[in-house]
Chain A
Amino acid sequence: MLILTCPYCGTAADETELHPGGEAHVVRAGPEADEDTFEAYLFQRANPRGVHFERWRHSHGCGKWFHAARDTLTMQVHGTYPAQVTEPPQDILDAIEEARAR
């Protein structure tokens, strides 16, 4: 039962308030995409043993989608950040590096 802090409203939200959305930063493949690209976009998802960038919606709260960097093994959360980015922000990457170095 995770706790993730919504980067919009600041609430440390219980998992029951949240709706999971799978892997983050998946780039949409449109009508021009070839079969392989489209298959990868539609079906193929990362399932790492370690840090996973993932999408969550604060569905029973402010309603906003956000991203979390969560370690699937240790459950450590390296940070949450708004969904309106195409890649993890530097401060999140730094936090992951720092945790690895320890």
Chain B
Amino acid sequence: MSKRLSTGGRLIDRDTSLRFTFNGTHLRGHQGDTLASALMANGRTLMGRSFKYHRPRGVVTSGAEEPNALFGLGKGDRFEPNQRATTAELFDGATTETQNHWPSLETDVGAVNASLSRFLPAGFYYKTFLWPRSFWKHVYEPFIRRSAGLGKAPDKDARDPDDYEHFHIHTDVLIVGGGVAGLAAAKSASATGAEVLLVEQTSHWGGRAPVDGAEIDGMPADAWIEKTVAELEAMENVRLRTRVMGSGIYDHGYALAYERIADHAPEGGRPRHRLWRIRARRIVTATGAIERPIAFAGNDLPGIMLASAVRDYVVNHAVAPGDRTVVVCNNDDAYRTALVLDDAGLKVAAVVDARPQGGGTLARTVKDRGIRVLQGKAIAKAKGTKTGVTAVGICEFTGTGDVTETIACDCVAMSGGWSPVVHLWSHAGGKLTWDETEAQFRPDPDRAPRNEDGEAMVHAVGAANGHFGTAEGLADAWDAGARAGGGTASGAAPAAAARDEAAMMPVWLMPANAKIGLRRKAWLDFQNDVKVSDVALAAQEGFTSVEHTKRYTTLGMATDQGKLSNINGLAILAQALDQEIPAVGTTTFRPPYTPISLAAIAGEARGDLFQPVRRTPMHQWHEDNGAVFEPVGHWRRPYCFRRDGERTEEAVRREIDRTRHGLGMLDASTLGKIIVKGPDAGRFVDMLYTNMMSSLKVGACRYGLMCSENGFLMDDGVVARLSDDTFLCHTTTGGAERIHAHMEEWLQTEWWDWQVWTANVTEQWAQVAVVGPHARKVLEKLGGIDVSKEALPFMRWTEGTLAGLPARIFRISFSGELSFEVGVPANRGRALWDALLEAGEEFGITPYGTEALHVMRAEKGFIMIGDETDGTVIPQDLGLHWAISKKKEDYIGKRAQARSHMADPDRWQLVGLETTDGSVLDDGAYAIADGTNANGQRNTQGRVTSTYHSPTLGRGIAMGLVLHGTDRMGEEIDFTAEGGATRRARIVSPVFYDPEGERQNV
């Protein structure tokens, strides 16, 4: 049974006592414990249930690679599922619960899956649940979703109360990993004078060196680390940060790091997580290595752990994972675990070494202490209960698994060798090379990720570069750190003893020729329950690419992303395919290195700060007067203004009625306004618009269409000529920035010798449309500008002082009524709005919103960009031939509109649609044609683009694109409607109201 030792524990503070709860039970631990070490100190080895078979599981590792010990942490609004117990620092009051079991961790009904495991092999879901089809949705999927899976999502009503932030920083050198290699690299890099940022994912410096008993520069590792950190802290050009994980490396020295500021100390008023967005000239990855488990039958029982993790818990936390341990290995390093256990007074029942010739110096030391060492042997199978392993059966390594001896134990420390953490190196395109000696993929320095200057951007150092000896790793880091800093190493690297270890022997399955019954119990991926037999089956069924095998078996697809399982899995695949491991290759490493919180990615962009909101100068009045807002681009525009007790549609109806029969006003400030100025301005607007603009007289306005180079209609609006060399181009509300960019692109990249300047002045002007039979009267009452029919005819503009405000008045109409658009400097917008309200009171002036605007324009058959257009519609489709110049030699989109498909007479054409019963057609409804297409869908002959109830006409009106529409006036066709019904409509002119235009020409 696991327990706390009475002495030792370099990271814990025995003077502290922290309370925490585990599935509701109150337990205690020390400052410096992780959740995993604290649970083991309390004798808890069962920490969860596996994903698929619900097998009992305990902790396997002591770090970020942990596949099993995943917990729900926190309560209520702060609840977070799938947190690794090995990286969660214990704090007073922590609340934790285990996952994926019912009704309890100890008694889990889902464990029945384990006895069915022979019938649940790789690809089982794909094979079994295909038929009958309807069962998938209603029977299989709900069952799988309930029985498989990890933590529960937080409650849907929970709201994360914590803050998160982004942090931007530039540095010369980023060093990821604060082990001894990272510290050495930081020293030599900073000595060149470079700015250095060193980040370490845990809360302490030094990595594994102190646990492994290294001596550096003649002192114990702990002392050297303390001294080096102090020296680095004293340097002005060095920043040191713990609890910051290097998450991903991207092009040109961009890196993301994930800081867990307050996970271990919640509610302290600090942000919980911080995302570092780093630009580094050079990056050093000192990310260490991860030990590999060994695949043998029953290797997933609680109490079976990585050898390095076993000694981590003993040395760092004074926690004994068991009383009686069997070490199983293929390398010398694992013997260190035997020595650490022996030092702590714990029994090592045996060291089972797969190598027939055994180990070197370390092995001899172990033997000298009287510890039993078995050479050329293997574990055939581990036996145990749900609380953990109880014994292992020993066999010949080269055999099939016939047990010759059984050794009782409650802990197994396994080591299959080490894999460098090459993730960050690979993120930005660094390539790997296969190292036969250590049976590992390590970074290939000749194929490093490159920077914009063509030089290597990332240097991998130390164990992350495949150097497992302390001296070799330090020398590598010392040299690379200086190069990253832009210099050469000055002085000697920190000194340590050279590596003295016998060669390891690759072991991918134990025993080497294990029979099928054992392979079915030999786990590769603990978190996703993938076994040796599953990978072999995938290969047998033709999933021979490592990427296919991964997806078929789900090997390496869990939250740990195969940190423990990938190398073992692809070695098994290589064996099954009878190929070399490098020929099989690895799957792709992608950021983040370990999962990071979505909240950290969002940073401050939540709630009110999610995105910027643009408000017009009159916005406050709208808010105070019942406006129902709708987003238009980043703008917020009033959809309508509801008066007391009114429903939205009633408000829209009133606004239209009052405007058509009295006086309405619209905040049109959001309309795009772009100045085009210069000697070649006329030539330029002729290229931008489909019609002739250069012939426009000063003082006049003209409606224009703008197309993209592929001919499609992209924007429309009224152009006013302000002077000989100046045009004011109005765009749609959402189009101002896009159209301004479009103009600049053509001016800068195609016609750069034309003398034209553009300026987007949208926000410099507030604009109000004054609309309705009384429009002229109210402006005359305000006084200052002659707006008579003679002085300001339709499609003209003038400027002057209106009610004491400098103003431009455009006599243009989007409603079909007598209409003036009054523009004033933005800071006078509210004054104009208030003056109009006051002067218009006697005429019943009625502010209206965008919906009334839309209905009134539809009554007049005016198109709306985004309704009648969708990026595939050309002006000719919309019957806008009158706005397309035939005289001009060229305009943007002209050539494209001559392509055969654009000139096809079968293109759908814009028409008006009137339902025969006066009802309103559904938005986007299709016009049905006879027959069906190849997919058995009904053929179509058109679709609705705009549809409204017209209060003016008292009936439903619509516009739509219909096959040969303009030739079919008066014909009735059927449209789809909700619930499979159809609705009949007559094809009519799109101008429903005042087709002669008499109302606006008064």
- Tell me if A65 counts as interface (CB < 8 A to partner B): yes
CB–CB A57/B450 < 8 A: no
- Tell me if B834 counts as interface (CB < 8 A to partner A): no
Cα separation A75 to B427 with both chains bound (whole Å): 14
Main secondary structure of the interface of B (DSSP, over half): loop
CB–CB A64/B748 < 8 A: yes
Chain A contacts with B in 21-79, Cβ cutoff 8 A: 21, 28-31, 33, 35, 38, 42, 55, 57, 59, 63-65, 71, 74-77
Cα separation A27 to B978 with both chains bound (whole Å): 49
- Tell me if A90 counts as interface (CB < 8 A to partner B): no
Cα separation A99 to B454 with both chains bound (whole Å): 8
CB–CB A63/B744 < 8 A: yes
CB–CB A38/B748 < 8 A: no
Contacts of B429 in A (CB 8 A): 75
CB–CB B452/A65 < 8 A: no
- Cross-interface CB contact of B251 among A1, A57, A83, cutoff 8 Å: A1
CB–CB A2/B251 < 8 A: yes
Cα separation A85 to B546 with both chains bound (whole Å): 47
B439 to chain A, nearest CB (A): 30
Cα separation A3 to B895 with both chains bound (whole Å): 37
Contacts A28-B750, A84-B752, A99-B454 given; indicate if A1 touches B254 (C-beta within 8 A): yes
Contacts of B251 in A (CB 8 A): 1-2, 75
- Tell me if A97 counts as interface (CB < 8 A to partner B): no
B365 to chain A, nearest CB (A): 48
Contact with A along B725-761 (1 / 0, CB 8 A): 0000000000000000100110011101000000000
Cα separation A14 to B251 with both chains bound (whole Å): 11
- Tell me if B250 counts as interface (CB < 8 A to partner A): yes
Cα separation A29 to B750 with both chains bound (whole Å): 11
- Cross-interface CB contact of B895 among A33, A65, A76, A84, cutoff 8 Å: A33
Cα separation A84 to B746 with both chains bound (whole Å): 11
CB–CB A3/B894 < 8 A: no
Contacts of A4 in B (CB 8 A): 452
Nearest residue (CB) in B for A84 is B752
A10 to chain B, nearest CB (A): 15
Contacts A33-B895, A57-B745 given; indicate if A74 touches B454 (C-beta within 8 A): yes
Contacts of A31 in B (CB 8 A): 889-890, 894-895, 898
- Tell me if B694 counts as interface (CB < 8 A to partner A): no
B872 to chain A, nearest CB (A): 15
Contacts of B452 in A (CB 8 A): 2-4, 75-77
CB–CB A42/B450 < 8 A: no
Nearest residue (CB) in B for A25 is B749
Cα separation A74 to B709 with both chains bound (whole Å): 33
B895 to chain A, nearest CB (A): 5
- Size range of the interface on A? 20 to 34
Cα separation A99 to B251 with both chains bound (whole Å): 19
Chain B contacts with A in 880-923, Cβ cutoff 8 A: 889-890, 894-896, 898-900
- Tell me if B121 counts as interface (CB < 8 A to partner A): no
Contacts of A59 in B (CB 8 A): 741
CB–CB A30/B454 < 8 A: no
Nearest residue (CB) in A for B428 is A75
- Tell me if B842 counts as interface (CB < 8 A to partner A): no
- Size range of the interface on B? 20 to 34
- Tell me if B252 counts as interface (CB < 8 A to partner A): yes
Contacts of A38 in B (CB 8 A): 895-896, 899
Contacts of A42 in B (CB 8 A): 709-710, 896
Contacts A1-B251, A2-B452, A76-B450 given; indicate if A83 touches B744 (C-beta within 8 A): no
Contacts of A57 in B (CB 8 A): 741, 744-745
CB–CB A76/B744 < 8 A: no
Contacts of B454 in A (CB 8 A): 71, 74, 76, 99, 102
- Tell me if B453 counts as interface (CB < 8 A to partner A): yes
Cα separation A102 to B455 with both chains bound (whole Å): 11
- Tell me if B279 counts as interface (CB < 8 A to partner A): yes
Contacts of B889 in A (CB 8 A): 31
Cα separation A3 to B253 with both chains bound (whole Å): 9
Contacts of B450 in A (CB 8 A): 74-76
CB–CB B252/A2 < 8 A: yes
Cα separation A31 to B710 with both chains bound (whole Å): 12
Cα separation A57 to B738 with both chains bound (whole Å): 13
Cα separation A83 to B746 with both chains bound (whole Å): 11
CB–CB A65/B749 < 8 A: yes
Contact with B along A7-19 (1 / 0, CB 8 A): 0000000100001
B426 to chain A, nearest CB (A): 15
Nearest residue (CB) in A for B891 is A31
Nearest residue (CB) in A for B452 is A77
CB–CB B252/A1 < 8 A: yes
- Tell me if B451 counts as interface (CB < 8 A to partner A): yes
Interface centre among B251, B252, B253 (most CB of A within 10 A): B252
Cα separation A76 to B252 with both chains bound (whole Å): 9
B249 to chain A, nearest CB (A): 10
Nearest residue (CB) in B for A75 is B251
Cα separation A1 to B428 with both chains bound (whole Å): 10
A50 to chain B, nearest CB (A): 13
CB–CB B744/A65 < 8 A: yes
Contacts of A74 in B (CB 8 A): 450, 454
Contacts of A84 in B (CB 8 A): 748-749, 752
Cα separation A19 to B749 with both chains bound (whole Å): 14
Contacts of B899 in A (CB 8 A): 35, 38
Contacts of A83 in B (CB 8 A): 748-749, 752
Nearest residue (CB) in B for A59 is B741
Cα separation A35 to B128 with both chains bound (whole Å): 53
Contacts of A75 in B (CB 8 A): 251-252, 429, 449-452
Contact with A along B435-456 (1 / 0, CB 8 A): 0000000000000011111100
Contact with A along B959-980 (1 / 0, CB 8 A): 0000000000000000000000
Q: Knowing that A28-B750, A42-B710, A63-B744 touch, tell me 10 more A-B residue pairs with CB under 8 angstroms.
A: A31-B889, A33-B895, A38-B896, A42-B709, A59-B741, A64-B748, A74-B450, A75-B252, A76-B452, A76-B454
Q: Jot down 27 A-B pairs with beta carbons below 8 A, ordered by A.
A: A1-B250, A1-B254, A3-B252, A28-B750, A30-B890, A31-B889, A31-B894, A35-B899, A38-B895, A38-B899, A42-B709, A57-B741, A57-B744, A57-B745, A59-B741, A63-B744, A65-B748, A74-B450, A74-B454, A75-B451, A76-B453, A76-B454, A83-B748, A83-B749, A83-B752, A84-B749, A102-B454
Residues of B bordering A, CB below 8 Å: 250-254, 279, 429, 449-454, 709-710, 741, 744-745, 748-750, 752, 889-890, 894-896, 898-900
Closest 3 A-B residue pairs measured CB to CB? A1-B254, A76-B454, A77-B452
